[in-house]
Amino acid sequence: MSAAEQDAPGWAAIDDALARLYPGQLPHQFASQRAYELDGESPLPAIAVYEGARPEHWHYVTYGLSELFEKSSGDPDVSGFGFELTMRVPRAAGEMAPPSWPLRALQGLGRYVLGTRKGFDTGHCADLGGSIAAGIDSALTCLACVPDPLLRKIGTPFGGLLFLQVVGITSDELAAMQRLDHEGVVHLLGELDFHGITDPSRASYFADPRKAPVLRRYQLGVLLER
């Protein structure tokens, strides 16, 4: 067992899952100097960013909402809050460094979880009250959470954790999803975009002639069930 596995076995378990998905790839690592201090800009200990393909994108993964160093929670089957957050955003041709706005977005969500002690769950949706990408004018002012389509759930020495992907959505998409149960939200978003990429430049899927029928079909399905 390496020193890292001995000192931070939960961290090592996340690293192992990512190494299986991205063999041989060295991620961009963004470590916090003030981990778990809620008045700081980066309360989560770290965020790793990998280069995803088909389509080209950046894949962000948090460290710190699960138990990284030792077991402190009372449930032996669940590590910390039971999840880490992920996000996928487009990667432009030739782009060598990942954009910083997803780091701020994920750290902000991490601050909320650590401060309120309230977690997110599959199918959770929320209105952010502004652009998901700080400093960028975007129609994506809401979010939905789904299991990360490629990482899913893993076991760690401190219990299981789910990689929960944050997907940026528009207000009219949120309104449509609020009529669905959690499973419906997951299936809808997976059908709209398997990878769940958050592109701040995109318009509502209701304006896309290929995507709008998918949204309307799910809405109609809800109406038919009533």
28 found inside a domain: yes
Q: What is the pLDDT of residue 223?
A: 44
What is the chain's mean pLDDT, rounded? 93
**Of 47, 69, 36, nearest in space to 156 by CA:** 69
In a domain, 208, yes or no: no
Q: Is residue 96 part of a domain?
A: yes
Alpha carbons 113 and 118: distance in angstroms, whole number = 5
- Give SS3 for 16: helix
* Beta partners for residue 29, in sequence order: 48
Q: Is there a domain that residue 119 lies in?
A: yes
Provide the number of structural domains found in the chain.
Answer: 1
Q: Who's near 71: CB < 8 A, 6+ residues apart?
A: 157, 158, 159
* Tens of pLDDT, residues 56-103: 999 999 999 999 999 999 999 999 999 999 999 999 999 999 999 999
Flag whether pLDDT at 111 surpasses 80: yes
Q: Return the number of other C-beta atoms located less than 10 Å from residue 118's C-beta.
A: 9
Q: Is residue 85 part of a domain?
A: yes
Q: Could you tell me the residue range of the domain that residue 152 belongs to?
A: 3-171+195-203
Task: Let me know if residue 81 belongs to a domain.
Answer: yes
Residue 188 lies in a domain: no
Chain segment 114-159, per-residue pLDDT in tens: 999 999 999 999 999 999 999 999 999 999 999 999 999 999 999 9
Is 62 a member of any domain? yes
The secondary element (H helix, E strand) that includes residue 197 is none
Quote the pTM value. 0.94
